[in-house]
Amino acid sequence: MRIRLSRPPRIPKQRPRRTGPARRRARLAAVTAATLLSLTAAAPAPGTSIPTRSPAFADVAQPAPPFAETLTPELVALMQRLRVPGAIVSIRTPEWGTWTTTLGTGNLADGTPIRTADHMRVGSITKTFTGTIILQLVQAGRLSLEDPVAAFRPDVPDGQHITIRQLLQMTSGLYNYSEDPGFNRTLDEHPQTVWTPEELLAIAFAHPAYFPPGGGFHYSNTNTILLGLIAEQLTGQPLAELFRQRVFEPLGMSESSLANDSGLPLPHAHGYEFIGNVASLTAPVLTGKDAAWADWSAGNPKDVTDANPSWAWSAGAAVSTLDDLLRWAPALATGALLDAELQRERLTFVPTSDRPGAPGYGLAIANFGGFLGHDGQLPGYNSFVGYNPQSCATVVVLVNLNQSPDGNAPADELTKLVFSKVFPGTAT
């Protein structure tokens, strides 16, 4: 089975020349600079923090919200254009309760509809779990945000000048191993390869830094691999167990886990891919007729459900469900697992670029115009989770396609549509 456009776009018969800026795209692009910036939002000024308040409403049955009738067909149309097999979109507010729609299929081979109970790989949303563990250890006095990483990992280049804060905030300058071309060839040719954190660091440390510590922002999975190792070193426990004990169980997230192999719990949605790992490093993000042609003529996507996620580990190997992420979004944004002072530190954002409207990045959390959360991208899957502490609104979007043929991150594009229709002013 293949996803087909209900009506072909009006484009020339011959394939037009691709245009658009070439972009290096790390495979774990939950919030790579490119993916993060695709969710245009009003970010706070550098060095500022924002207040939060906890949600105070019951999830009770409500009439269909006013946006439901028009939003659903617009989501379907966008999915068709982006060639998304299946999507789960959920919006929770005090006024409307929880509105959730499941669209499309979780399995192109047999047409099984995607389901709200389906487990999905959530990519870099994993970083919010790892970051929370580290901040809990800071709260317990086991380390400080200003500690040099060299105190825990003497092998890190210039590690005596890189702080724990800079690892969390993506300002360390360390090379992102998932941008290495040879590494990406291995992912394409041998997707079942099992990677150790030490192997990933060796790839990163073989490259020069992007800039001196604290000298800029560059999204790098290397930072979070180091944080995962430090958490294990300080506690003597596997990171998967730390996730379970310190995050999932306290919040009742019974269907979430850190994957330790290529299997997914049942039920799960199959994950699909149009653009391979190597190609994605330089694939442009297309617009206009070029994007329409790419999306329409892409052929069938590849099923990459069983690709081994070990290469993402603490930076992106978590698995979760809609219900669990609806729990996680407000807990993350309001600091349910941290004290108030440390949560204020977490919500001090640095700019991700000098472009007006670019999101801000805090301590393993991003600010999308007041929605605090993260997005995630792993072969086969793309996701977004965000909570607005002022309006107590939650948005979760899960899709089983990591990148559309036109180069866009489909969950981010669906999220932008939700923002524009339901929360105008959040994104432009």
What's the pLDDT at 189?
A: 97
Q: What is the pLDDT along the chain (428 residues), one digit of tens a residue?
A: 222 222 222 223 233 333 333 333 343 433 344 444 345 433 333 333 333 333 444 444 567 899 999 999 999 999 999 999 999 999 999 999 999 999 999 999 999 999 999 999 999 999 999 999 999 999 999 999 999 999 999 999 999 999 999 999 999 999 999 999 999 999 999 999 999 999 999 999 999 999 999 999 999 999 999 999 999 999 999 999 999 999 999 999 999 999 989 999 999 999 999 999 999 999 899 999 999 999 999 999 999 999 999 999 999 999 999 999 999 999 999 999 999 999 999 999 999 988 877 889 999 999 999 999 999 999 999 999 999 999 999 999 999 999 999 999 999 999 999 999 999 977 43
Of the candidates 234, 207, 247, the one whose C-alpha atom is nearest the C-alpha of residue 144 is 234
Provide the whole-model pTM.
0.88
What's the pLDDT at 163?
A: 98
What's the pLDDT at 260?
A: 86
The CATH T-level fold of domain 33-86+98-422 is: Beta-lactamase (3.40.710)
What's the pLDDT at 219?
A: 98
